[in-house]
Amino acid sequence: MYFLNINKPKGMTSFDVIRKLRKHLNVKQIGHSGTLDPLAYGVMQVGVGNATKLLDYLNSNKEYIATMEFGYITDTYDLEGEKQYISKPNFSFDDLNNVLKTFIGKTKQIPPKYSAIKKNGKKLCDLARKNKDINISDFEREIEIYSIELIDFKNYQAIIKINCKKGTYIRSLVNDIGEKLGCGACLIELKRTKAGDFLIQNSNNLDDEYIKINPLEVLNYPKIELNDNQLMRVLNGNAIQNETKITSDIILLTKDNKLVSIANLSDNLIKPKKVFKEDE
């Protein structure tokens, strides 16, 4: 049971990466958090073995470096779509900076028509291919952007750094920026540099020797080291008394630097929610 910090290359889907890892590691139980489009690259949080059951507990706030080009849009909001010219860009560095600031905080966002977001169990991209007149505003949802930094702006292109809550579509953000500027914009390159505690500088390429990450290193919850009696109770699915001052709803129960259980605190009882009897 461990995590991997994988640097997804351009041109591969996230599933392609998992399929290659599954074959290379000879492990069936493997999954990831946070899909990256084929044209995007960078950090992927990968869980192997029982760590697949822990992916939802990871801090998954994201950091991206995005390059956008102004003057046109596409139906996919990136270079895979069909181009539609809007108008010649006519704004300054400061104008762009001021527009970027309007996206900081909690806002509503409509995802790209061709995205994997689901509604009633069906992917938006599949629905869009069957019915191009689908009302994508029905898929609007709240996102949160913590910061946007304008790194460079020249030749009708800009590079920005975005820190955001998971679930934010950078393609949609770029399209919305172009709309506010009145000239259109298209995402032409996207690099995910951070996902929670997983950093691009610590990531492994698919052909590297993978560094296994102990879940306890990246799960940011209070930890309780179990004694032998408590361990037996937890392994049998029984609650134990909270003999600490911890008040967090989620607690990691450990033994010898290994995760034994994800537990919930209720009425001062620590109740195992997920129990891991084997180290996979």
pLDDT in tens, the chain (280 residues): 999 999 999 999 999 999 999 999 999 999 999 889 899 999 999 999 999 999 999 998 999 999 999 999 998 999 988 999 999 999 999 999 999 999 999 999 888 766 555 555 555 555 555 565 566 677 788 999 999 999 999 999 999 999 999 989 999 999 999 999 999 999 999 999 999 999 999 999 998 889 999 999 999 999 999 999 999 999 999 999 988 888 889 999 999 999 999 999 988 899 999 999 865 4
235 burial level (CB within 10 Å; 0-12, 13-18, 19+)? middle
Total number of domains constituting the chain:
3
For residue 265, being part of any structural domain is answered with: yes
279 is catalytic: no
Tell me: do 17 and 67 sit in the same domain: no
Tell me: do 51 and 67 sit in the same domain: no
Cβ proximity of 34 and 60 under 8 Å: yes
Please give the structure tokens belonging to residue 34.
Answer: 């946070």
How far apart CA 152 and CA 203 sit, in angstroms, is 25
Q: Which of 16, 37, 56, 207 is labelled catalytic?
A: 37
How far apart CA 156 and CA 76 sit, in angstroms, is 20
Tell me: do 159 and 44 sit in the same domain: no
Cβ proximity of 191 and 40 under 8 Å: yes
Tell me: do 72 and 176 sit in the same domain: yes
For residue 280, being part of any structural domain is answered with: no
pTM tops 0.85, yes or no:
yes
How far apart CA 96 and CA 198 sit, in angstroms, is 30
Q: Angle at Cα 111 formed by Cα 92 and Cα 7, nearest 5°?
A: 85
Structural domain containing residue 139: 62-194
The domain that holds 265 is classified in CATH as: 2.30.130.10
For residue 134, being part of any structural domain is answered with: yes
Q: Identify which of 31, 7, 28 has the alpha carbon closest to the alpha carbon of residue 18.
A: 31
Tell me: do 183 and 80 sit in the same domain: yes
Tell me: do 201 and 113 sit in the same domain: no
Tell me: do 120 and 203 sit in the same domain: no
Tell me: do 146 and 177 sit in the same domain: yes
For residue 116, being part of any structural domain is answered with: yes
Helix, strand or coil, per DSSP, at residue 59: coil
Please give the structure tokens belonging to residue 50.
Answer: 């029982």
